[in-house]
Every structure is written in C-alpha cells, then in structure tokens.
Structure 1
C-alpha cells in the first residue's frame, strides 16, 4: 500500500510528536495569558460545535470564571438555548472585549438566527473591520446576511463582500455557492454558472465543475477574464500522484 509506505501510522505519529514536545525548550514554560485565552476559546468553540452541549459543559466547568467559559456558554446558548439569552451573553462579551472580532461574529450569527439580517450584516461588518487575521469567512458572512436582506442594492453589496472573502480564501466552496445564488437573483446567469463551477471545483467535483464552466462560457464573450477562468476549469486535469 503506497499510502502506508509513505505515511506513519497514527501511533507512530503520536510517538514522534511526544518526542518533539519533550525536546522543546519551552515545554514547561506557561503560555502567555492572552495566548492561553485564545487557545481555550477555540477549544470550547470546537467542543460546542463538534462534541455537543454535554461535552462543552464539562470543558467549561474546568474553565469557570474565564472569558473562554463565557464565550462557550454564549455559543451553547445560541445553538441549544434561547436566542435572547444568547444575545445578552454575547453583548456582555463584547463589553468585556470590544475589539474582539469573533464576539461580533457570534453576534451576527445570533441575529441571523433571529431573522434580523440587516443587524447581522452590521455585526459581521464590524467583525471584518476588527479582524487583523483577514479571515475570508467573515466577509462571506456579511454577504450572506445582505442576501437575506433581499433588496437589489443589498444583493449587489453581497456580491462585493463575498468576492472580497473569496479573494482572501479562494478555496471556500460554500462561498461560491452563496455567490452563485446572489448572481442568480441579480439576473447574472453566466456569473451564477461560473460561481457554481467554482464551488464544484473546490469541492473536488471536477466533472460537474467542467459542465457548469462550459455552460458559463456559452454566455460570455470569448477571452474576457471570466471566460478565461472557465477555460482554466475546463482544462484542469487532477493529479493522480499519491502524496
């Protein structure tokens, strides 16, 4: 099996990592509080979304009194509890850290669930303005909220925002699906077809990507940038090399 030859088994990978950790001069040095807080916040978010309410609650009990625990509680309340309570908890987080982009993102998520897309778009836009990491997901979230507003003007703004997000993270297949929907609602069918092709392409579904790229090309001027991108998809040949 070429894969097994070139890839260590999980137990071997863990053993190799343990050796590296023990050799690291910082192994016994506590992380800076800000870094530990970021790590804990990510742990609790993953627990809420991937492991469920009970697992997240167990983890949060170990973090009692921390901002990470409050963040996890707000996330859990948003997913499994009361929207109004989740919003109140998130607003408290924002008061504690007004420049935290991901608290604003959570506020946007809650407002979307509450069917308040215009307010959600504002929250996501605030998150974008605070995000020093320039995440591609946040502008796409702005675009989703603007799409839900549903006016011609908001749809045009949605296209701009989603394209901004895809410019930062061009492999976001879900982002292209939203873009295709926005183009379709604006009547830009070639744009919708190409965005659908991109979505399939970055999902690894090359057959359908080529079909939609050819459909897009039929409605485009030969040689224009979008036509050329469609041609790139049509010409693409996936590698068969085993990594």
Structure 2
C-alpha cells in the first residue's frame, strides 16, 4: 500500500473538518403519554421560577441509553432514556431539568452555534495555511501549523463550554430554590456521575479538567453544595406522589426498551409491586406471551381500575395482539379519563380502524381529528386519519394527511407533491386548504435549505 503524500493528508484533514461541522442525524423520539405528562409536571414549577412562559417549554424523550439531557434551539429540553434509567428519584431528574432551563434562559444554544463556527473557522484556516505550506515544500511545518490551529480551536471551544456549564449549574440552583424544591437530588446525581468518572478512569486533576467539555463533577458538587445547603428549600420533603409516578414510568420505560430477559431479571415474578408488574407486562408483550402480559395488566387494574395508563396498557396489548375489538373498551375509557390525550386517542382511532368495520370509521375520524388538533406532531395518527379519508373517498384530505405525515418524516418531495394536490382540490379558503398551503410552504423551504447546503 502506498503511503499518502503530505498534500493528500492535508486535503483529507480539510475535508474531514468540513464534514465534522455538519449536523448529525436525528435520534429517535419516544412518545408515551404517561411519561410526557410526568415530565411536564416535574418541570412546571421550575419553569415558573425561571419566568419562562410555561406553554413554550417542550420536553422530548430520546431513545438513547447515555446519561444526558440537552437543549437544541427554541425552548425544548431533550431527555435521554438513559437519564431516566440512571436516576433514582424524580428529584434527581428535576435537578437536571433545572440545569437545562438555565441553558435556555441564558441563550446558550445561540452562543454555542456562534462559538462552534468560530472554532471551526480557526481550524479550517489552520488547515488552509497548512496546505499552502505543503505546496511550498514545508511538509513538517505544515503539520505544525495544523496542530497549532486545532489546539487553538479546541481550547477556545472547550473553555467556552465549561464556562457555560458552570454558570448554568448556578441558574439551575436558583430555579430549584425559587420553586421550593430541594437541591439534594441535583447533588446526588452529580455525585453518581462523579463515581462513574472515577470508575471509568478519568483523572480529577486540574490538567484533565482543561481538556473536557464540562467542569469536573467534583468541582460542580463543591460549588453547588455550598450554595444549596444554605437554601431554605434544602430540607423540603420530597413530593411522594411525583416519586411514585416516576418509579412507575421508569419501570415502564425499562420494560419497553430492555431485552425481555433483562427486564425479568430486574423485576422477577415474585415482585408483585406496581412498577414490577408494569415492566413485566411489556416484557411479556414483546415476547408475544399475550396471556401473561394481560394477566399483569389486569392485576394492575385490580388495584387501580380507573388508572388511564393501565387501561392504555391493556388496550395496547390487545390491539397489537390482533384483538382490536377487545381493545376498544379499555382504550375508550382511557381516552375519556385523559380528556382525549392525543396519543391515547390516536391509539383508539387505530383500534377502530383495525376492526375493519366501516361502522367504526366515523368514530375513528372523530377521535383522530381531535388527536391531531391537540398534537400535530404525530405522524402515525395522520397516517390513520388518511386511511379513514381514503376509505370514504375523500382523496384531497387523504393526500393532506399524507403530506402532514411525510413532512414530519422528512420526506419533503412527497410532502410537497401531496400538499399541492390537496390544495388544488380542497374548498378554496377552508381551514384544510389553508393548512395544505402551510405544509407545502414548509416542505418547499426545507427542500431549498437542503439544496443550499450542498
């Protein structure tokens, strides 16, 4: 194999640097009505303390096993499933959410983008200078220019990010205090992260701290403990109802995501607690052990017969096991109890269609329209609504529903085509006609943005 020449190496490095600044692919989003309601209730007092508008802060659950949460534009907090799995209490998660709210109020996403561009410019400039040196015959000097530029870029970026994280910790502490929520959970979570660092072999020395994107957990704990222990809310009792909801949602998430055997090891059949039954129901369902999954769901409902989440679980098991008629009763009741929560109403609409009884289609249309009116970002509900429209011969609205689904799935050419076709056939000036225009504009704008980035 021939050894690469210095110029080839430099050009390859330049290309890799340019590619590195492109956005990564989006991670998969998990949608669960119970967990979303829990996260909203967890963050609500913190949002009030931060003086942000409650309706403008969105929480999104990401299917990612790493222990993380982040903000990425607007006022949305993305929570990794690994964070829920690692935390032991609702209070720990609230500590993380308070920290992330600090990023939003400080506008760190915008500043992060600005600093990333600055660091990238330093890096690319050093590469271009290195290419020039290589063309002049100074191969070793060129590599030295590149190394110096890369180090300057990294130092600039990491120093900025560490400052952000430290200031955001303090903002999070203020929001916990303002909400009257103890900071013990925040401290405990950072202590757990510190333990993970030590077990992973990270040094706690100052030299190591410089090369990391966050301040060391030990440093954060020391500063925050001194602040939070003096706060009147430090000894505030935990919210026991919130903690019970958290334990249930955590078990449910584990049962849904983990391999069934892992779930059964963590929640063996001898454990008859509500969280254990919840987790096992999903483990059995994933293994198509329908009777055992239904037995766990029925045991949960025997304790709390009007719990909408348990009713949703039973309806889901029945529906996905090929028994849509049997699923209707629990799903109707869950929809009623949650005042037509969009995700549960969407599942009810799916069950009504899956019966293949055209007499159920008017009800399906009703609940699905209610679902997407409350939550437009539900591609599966739009798909089901399109099925209803097509079955009754309403092709323009079927194409509009397809466009709604496609634009969320980033199928912009198809979305544009269907939206334009729907607009051409829908009544002029009607709400659906206006919506078709909006979807077409969104799809066209995304296509132009993608074209400009090439």
TM-score, length-normalised on structure 2?
A: 0.47
Aligned ranges for residues 117-128 of structure 1 at < 5 Å?
117-128=324-335
Aligned counterpart for 1:137 among listed residues 324, 343, 348: 343
Matched, 1:104 2:308: no
- The offset of 1:29, in angstroms, is 5.8
- Per-residue CA deviation, residues 112-170 of structure 1 (Å, 9 max, x unaligned), is 133221221221111112226x5310001010000011122211211111111112211
- The offset of 1:58, in angstroms, is 4.4
Cross-structure match for 1:195: 401
Contact in 2 for aligned 1:191/1:216 (Cα 8 Å): yes
Cross-structure match for 2:238: 31
Aligned ranges for residues 139-154 of structure 1 at < 5 Å?
139-154=345-360
Matched, 1:211 2:321: no
Mapped partners of 1:5, 1:58: distance in 2: 46
Matched, 1:53 2:163: no
Matched, 1:175 2:381: yes
The DSSP-based 3-state class of the residue aligned with 2:306 is: coil
Contact in 2 for aligned 1:48/1:76 (Cα 8 Å): yes
- The change in CA–CA distance for 1:17 and 1:80 in structure 2 (over 3 A counts) is farther
**How many residues matched?**
237
Contact in 2 for aligned 1:140/1:161 (Cα 8 Å): yes
Structure 1 unmatched runs, 5+: none
- The change in CA–CA distance for 1:30 and 1:70 in structure 2 (over 3 A counts) is farther
The DSSP-based 3-state class of the residue aligned with 1:147 is: helix
The DSSP-based 3-state class of the residue aligned with 1:170 is: coil
Structure showing greater Rg: 2
Mapped partners of 1:145, 1:27: distance in 2: 48
Cross-structure match for 1:185: 391
Contact in 2 for aligned 1:70/1:93 (Cα 8 Å): yes
Mapped partners of 1:14, 1:123: distance in 2: 46
- The offset of 1:6, in angstroms, is 6.2
Structure 2 unmatched runs, 5+: 1-20, 22-111, 118-156, 174-185, 188-223, 450-454
Contact in 2 for aligned 1:44/1:59 (Cα 8 Å): no
Cross-structure match for 2:248: 41
The DSSP-based 3-state class of the residue aligned with 1:218 is: helix
- The change in CA–CA distance for 1:31 and 1:69 in structure 2 (over 3 A counts) is farther
Mapped partners of 1:80, 1:28: distance in 2: 45
- The offset of 1:70, in angstroms, is 1.3
Aligned ranges for residues 70-81 of structure 1 at < 5 Å?
70-81=277-288
- The change in CA–CA distance for 1:164 and 1:27 in structure 2 (over 3 A counts) is farther
- The change in CA–CA distance for 1:204 and 1:140 in structure 2 (over 3 A counts) is same
- Per-residue CA deviation, residues 210-234 of structure 1 (Å, 9 max, x unaligned), is 1101111232222222111111222
Cross-structure match for 2:14: none
- The change in CA–CA distance for 1:194 and 1:52 in structure 2 (over 3 A counts) is same
Mapped partners of 1:17, 1:117: distance in 2: 49
Contact in 1 for aligned 2:260/2:284 (Cα 8 Å): no
Cross-structure match for 2:367: 161
Contact in 1 for aligned 2:346/2:381 (Cα 8 Å): yes
Mapped partners of 2:277, 2:165: distance in 1: 32
Cross-structure match for 2:274: 67
